Amino acid sequence: MHICACDYASTVTTLQDPPHPALLRSVRRRSLLATAWELAEVRWAALALLLFAIGGITQLAGAPSPVWWVLYLACYAAGGWEPAWAGLQALREKTLDVDVLMIVAAIAAAAIGQVLDGALLIVIFATSGALEAFVTRRTADSVGALLELAPEQAVRLDDSGAATDVDVADLAVGERILVRPGERIAADGVVVEGASDVDQATITGEPLPVAKQTGADVFAGTVNGTGSLTVQVTAPAHDSVVARIVALVEEASETKARTQLFIEKVEERYSIVVVVATLLILGVPLLAGAAFQPSLLRAMTFMIVASPCAVVLATMPPLLAAIANAGRHGVLIKSAVALENLRTVEVVAFDKTGTLTLGTPRVADVIGLDGSSADQALAVAAAAEQHSEHPIARAVGEAARARGLAVPASTGFRATPGRGVAATVGGRAVVVGSPLLLDDEVPAEVHGQAAAFEQSGHTVIVVMVDGRPAGLIALTDQVRDTARATVDQLARLGASHVLLTGDHQIAAEQVGRQVGISRARGGLLPDGKAAAVTDLKQGDRTVMLVGDGINDAPAMATADVAVAMGRGGSDLAVETADVILVRDEIAAIPTSISVARRAHRVVRANIVFAACVIVALVTWDFVGHLPLPLGVAGHEGSTVVVGLNGLRMLRKSVWRGGTMAS
């Protein structure tokens, strides 16, 4: 644990009370508080804080000094034993860090009667370590939970067609497995028999189930629809797409952690300078014949005024105040490091489905054919689809209701995976489904209209009545109302943007045009998205990735700043992200960047002020005689000033004016 601005990466705002219901899914196995309380670091920090608070109350109430001294010393023991032990371990390895310095400063404060100052340092230490341990635990749990997407058992088929339940880990490339309706697919493979619709949003982010027939690729962890599939395994369990997602997240997270080495080096050098200076202030006068007690008092005074507490608090209040302010407006920024990274964002990469769009299809256009009007075709389609739970069926039904159409009853409903549904409506045979239903006898004009819809990025279904086409229905994913304005605001802040999606290229380009993004890349699997983010980071550019699905998690871990949709986002996306949009309001992204930049300006002003005060006090102690009360007053006074200045970031006007605070 290190007391510095960057160490407050562990400060998580997802513990707000009450938490947003959309985030409760990510902690369904255990509550956030239960997870936190399992950690020893959290329990010790809570005890230290409680003892500190009771000590402060008794001191203010005028209790005898031994009472609150005992409470403060108990706070020392509860919150300080772990960093003290870590400091001793560092000394054994012949290194010196801020752990050692701050513990010595706290003890020195108590030695000269300033036990309150020392207890405050201890509380800061303990709280930082507890929050860091909590985030580490939650992230590890979320990555491990991803592996549970793929089932542990599979139904293996031998050459005779006999079925046997086996462990997924025992499957070999080339073997065949049976996937029944509603089951999760156990391994990456290719369909060799059967047809079905497969929901693979967890891997590709596609909003609709994808029709799978012979020759189609399928992925482990995706959900089979109503048909039965025979799949030939093409990759072992340890090399599946899901397993690679886990590996990519872990690898990228480790790479981020290595960037903290620079911070540690700075801390160690600072600690060495302070310790050496303290020893000189104590030793040189003693060698010159000075009395021991005044020399010790002067050295301890130096240790107090040179401690980095004021500089740390110069950084923490504005950052945490900005985080709290964002939290009140539905943006959960997990750490001060994430907030600092927000201000430097130069490129914003958006996922499409569920991020720029709502992830639910809607009817965009209806064309009547063969004498049928558009409303007639839509009403007949809604009648045939009314017994289906497919997202397209719901979209057709909603469109018919929106137009006020009377939807007749239907009988004999049946669904054919990969093709569509059939029913009898008013004594006529109605089929609604894929354009594959169109045969060669249908006029070329109808084929051309269907192809034109598909080329423009729409999903097309055809309505057939008694074997003849009665209409074409074009569906599209709904673009968020605020998407265009969000992209425009990012451009004004100097951030470029790109669209990365697992959906096909045409759909990517269409959505890009709607929201004002000129660069769009489609057909990307999770590792492809992560590679695209790596490419965007060339030239030391800071890249933000905004996504919502498990398929976005590797790219999120690779990006400098990851933003997840809290309401519709997957558990892993929420846990991997640095920033969570609780209400899925992407318009908050440019505001968050602006607020982060304003917070940085406050931090910079605070650090300059705090550093100047410390330099002045240290210089005074070196060249003259700094009275202890004046030294403590200057040190604590600077802490109060920078703290109050930082808390200005809590004002509501900061968030409302965020888009101007760039």
Residues designated catalytic: 351
137/145 Cα distance (integer angstroms) = 12
- Read off the amino acid at residue 582: V
> In this structure, are residues 473 and 372 in contact, taking their beta carbons and an 8 Å threshold?
no
**Angle, helix 628-647 to helix 115-146, in steps of 10 degrees:** 40
The CA–CA distances, whole Å, from 481 to 500, 538, 544, 565, 584 equal: 19, 32, 21, 15, 12
**Residue 178 three-state SS:** strand
Which spans in 388-464 are helix H?
A: 391-402, 444-455
Strand ranges, E, within 490-648: 496-500, 520-521, 542-547, 561-565, 579-581
State how far the Cα of 476 lies from the Cα of 290, in Å rounded to an integer. Answer: 85
Helix, strand, coil percentages in the chain from 3-state DSSP, rounded to 5? 55, 20, 25
Report how far Cα 640 is from the mean position of its chain's Cα atoms: 33
φ, ψ of residue 380 to 5 degrees: the values are -65, -40
Token pair belonging to 41: 């670091």
Nearest to 507 by CA among 443, 468, 552, 459: 459
Q: Are 354 and 503 within 8 A, CB to CB?
A: no
CB burial string 225-247: b at 16+ within 10 A, e below:
bbbbbbbbbebbbeebbbbbbbe
Residues 6+ apart with CB under 8 A from 397: 382, 385, 386, 407
Q: How many CB atoms lie within 10 A of CB 19?
A: 17
The secondary structure element, H or E, covering residue 299 is: helix 292-306
Q: CB-based burial of residue 60 (10 Å sphere; 0-12 exposed, 13-18 middle, 19+ buried)?
A: exposed
Axis crossing angle, helix 526-536 with helix 241-258, rounded to the nearest 10: 30
